[in-house]
Structure 1
Amino acid sequence: MAQPPGFIDQDHPTHICHLKKSLYGLKQAPRAWYEKLQSALFSMGFQASHSDHSLFVLHKPTLVLVLVYVDDIIVTGPSSSVCNTIISQLSSKFPIKDLGDLHYFLGLEVQKSTSGAFIHQSKYILDLLKRTKMDGAKPCATPLSSVKLDHTGSLLSNPEDYRSIVGALQYLTWTRPDLSFAVNLVCQFMHSPREPHFQAVKRILRYLKGTLGFGLWFPKTTSPLLLNAYSDADWAGCSWDRRSTGGFCIFLGPCLVSWSAKKQHTVSRSSTEAEYRSLAHTATEITWICQLFSDIGFKLSSLPQIWCDNVSAIALASNPVFHARTKHVEIDYHYIRELVLAKLLTVKFVCSADQLVDIHTKSLPRPRFLHLRSKLSLQPSPFSLRGCEEQVTIVKH
């Protein structure tokens, strides 16, 4: 500790200030902690990932990954002995608590077996239902009804409750891709929520009541891991500002690893433009995933593929002949064309009936919603008891 410049007492130069506020709560505390931990990991031979600053990678003698969230740390790798050595080295530098194999981390529950891993947030959902007094509500089959939300209806007398519940629902999209579009929709009314918006939130909670144990299943597989993405957009789907909603789903082999449902920033003049913008966002996410794979030394066996149901957008991604029709499109959306021409990814056609991203761009009828949900690696828990097979360790500082 040292006194800040200008506050040094000449009569007591070795004294320090008595802080009335905890040092942990100061603005510079997270940065100071990160720099301290980073220096310690660098001294142990780790390298920081260029794609994710919270990920540190050790390649020799064997692969070890350290993922940091403030003072919660996950240590994992194929060798349990090397992981234990890393934990011992960390314990010599910091007062840490080894919590053993990963079961619960930041609200995420992990169940493992010899056939794969299941990640869910059942406890978080149950706590949310109890907090909102919806634990006794009648379940429903879909998170959204056919009623379109707009800015009509009576204003809520206590909008803080609405904002609190919607904020909690946002955290659920970590393991529930089936909620992405519904949560994105109700988030658009945070400033002045109205009664129909709150009814939509209640319907999401009722849907959660009926799918309490659902989560993402990551099966073990020996087949080559291919990176496949589905991209789609609902052109002018918003009834009051006519902006489109774009989305994507990215699969690594049979596992869903990334997804998004987001309203586009500007109005698209055609369905081709809306789809093309969504393709560009999907390509950006794929590029980031490929960079992350490169940091950990993982190589894909073939080029990533993006599946789109718009033929014109696919042609535009690889052929600049439609320049006259796309003068108004921002230059950064042509990023995907550069990737295609450089043969870093391919764009292929998929029929609308097989387009998985419909679940992220619009409200769907029950049969269509349930069909697409079954394609997203989303299922009820396959375990009755928690397994503990792989070496994944969580460390608490």
Structure 2
Amino acid sequence: QARFLVNPGQEHQDAADRVIQYLSHTKHRALRFGGPGGLTVASVASFADNTLDRKSSQAYTIRLFDGLVGWRASKQDTVTTSTTEAELLALAQAAKESLYVSRLLKELTVQMDDPTIRIDCDNTQTINLVTAEIATLKTKLRHVDIHNHWLRQEVQRGRIQVNYTKSTDMIADGLTKALPAGKWNRFLYQLGLEDIQERQQQSRKQEGIEAKLQKTEDCLGNAGSTGTY
């Protein structure tokens, strides 16, 4: 939506209204935490999906204790010429953000089960480029080549580990494309978003019961302390 602030039309207004309606309908959803204490990251790119300028979309998610602590979906600044180049740029962004989160957690003295950051990627060629002993990226884009060498460096130093994940299991995939209802609900489950409305109602009910019990105890206490002279 921010791309169309200069000259918005009715279709952009309708899209903004849909966002507000969605937020209203999902206001009772909350993130679930509870799991292993390592950082797990998912990185994905949608190659040349913007029909106006053929730039690719990219997204990542960062999870800690099996709960979502960071996420972003954006359009890449450069037009890439292959899926591998687009995936490399997305992977580099995810790695940089996750390394920052890792340093922040270290300063906060948060104990993690494994200090190595695991990043899921659904493109085998991209994984080979950053993990194989001998791998060459044929590209004329200098910054893509630089990102490739930087990622290889971080992998060799043991700071990050890039693993293959099927596209159907890729959590971040839902941030780069529209999904039908069934897949969207699965995406929300993968993110750890749960409807806590029933839990909130039970909590309020319990609080009401406890308040009544406390009031009854106070009344009995006052009655017992009152004497006749």
TM-score range, shorter-chain basis? 0.7 to 0.9
- CA deviation after TM superposition for structure 1 residue 306, in Å: 0.4
Alignment of 1:211-250 (within 5 A): 211-219=26-34, 224-250=36-62
- 1:374 equivalent in alignment to 2:189: yes
Deviation at 1:363, TM superposition (A): 1.3
In structure 2, distance between residues paired with 1:320 and 1:333 = 17
Contact 2:33 2:65 in 1 (8 A): no
Q: CA deviation at 1:321?
A: 4.3
Q: How far does residue 238 in structure 1 lie from its aligned partner after superposition?
A: 0.8
1:284 corresponds, among 96, 100, 115, to 96
Contact 2:171 2:187 in 1 (8 A): yes
| Alignment of 1:189 onto 2:8 | no
Shift of 1:212: 2.3
- Kindly state the Cα deviation for residue 240 of structure 1 after the two structures are TM-superposed: 0.3
Match of 2:209 in 1: none
* 1:383 correspondence with 2:197: no
Deviations 1:252-294 (A, max 9, x none): 1211111110111111111111111110001001110111122
Residues 213 and 268 (structure 1), Cα distance of their counterparts in 2 relative to 1, 3 Å cut:
same
For residues 255 and 380 of structure 1, what CA distance do their matches in structure 2 show? 15
Residues in 2 aligned to 1:346 and 1:324: alpha-carbon distance in whole angstroms: 19
Q: Aligned AA for 1:202?
A: D
Q: Distance in 2 between matches of 1:353 and 1:203?
A: 26
SS in 2 for 1:337: helix
TM-score computed with the length of structure 2 as normaliser: 0.80
* Distance (Å, rounded) in 1 between the aligned partners of 2:142 and 2:112: 32
Cα offset, 1:319, TM superposition: 3.5
TM-superposed CA distance for 1:324, in Å, is 5.0
Structure 2 alignment gaps of length 5 or more: 207-229
Quote the residue 1:295 is aligned against: 107
- Choose which of 87, 100, 109 in structure 2 pairs with 1:275: 87
CA distance in 1, matches of 2:101, 2:38: 12
What corresponds to 2:171 in structure 1?
356
1:262 matched to 2:77? The reply is: no
Q: Could you tell me which amino acid in structure 1 is paired with residue 167 of structure 2? A: S
1:314 to 123, 127, 145: 127
User: Which residues in structure 2 correspond to 1:333-348 (within 5 Å)?
Assistant: 333-334=147-148, 335-348=150-163
Q: CA deviation at 1:297?
A: 2.1
List 4+ stretches of structure 1 deviating above 6 A.
none
Residue type at the aligned position of 2:2:
C
Q: What letter is aligned with 1:348?
A: N
Contact 2:174 2:184 in 1 (8 A): yes
For residue 226 of structure 1, report the CA deviation from its aligned partner.
Answer: 1.7
| Partners of 2:92 and 2:151 within 8 A in 1 | yes
Distance verdict in 2 for CA 1:324–1:275, change over 3 Å: closer
Q: CA separation in 2, counterparts of 1:320 and 1:197?
A: 48
SS across alignment from 1:307: strand
Q: How does 1:132-211 map to 2 (within 5 A)?
A: 186-211=1-26
Using the alignment, how far apart are the partners of 2:184 and 2:2 within structure 1?
21
Q: Which stretches in structure 1 are left out of the alignment for 5+ residues? A: 1-185, 388-397
Q: Could you tell me the TM-score, scaled by structure 1's length? A: 0.48
| CA displacement, residues 295-325 of structure 1 (integer Å, 9 cap, x when unaligned) | 1223432221001100011111224744351
* 1:344 Cα deviation after fit: 1.0
* Distance in 2 (alpha carbons) for counterparts of 1:362 and 1:329: 28
How many residues are treated as equivalent by the alignment? 200
1-side partners of 2:146 and 2:4: how far apart? Answer: 29
What CA deviation, in whole Å up to 9, does each residue of 1:151-198 have, x standing for no partner?
xxxxxxxxxxxxxxxxxxxxxxxxxxxxxxxxxxx2221121111111
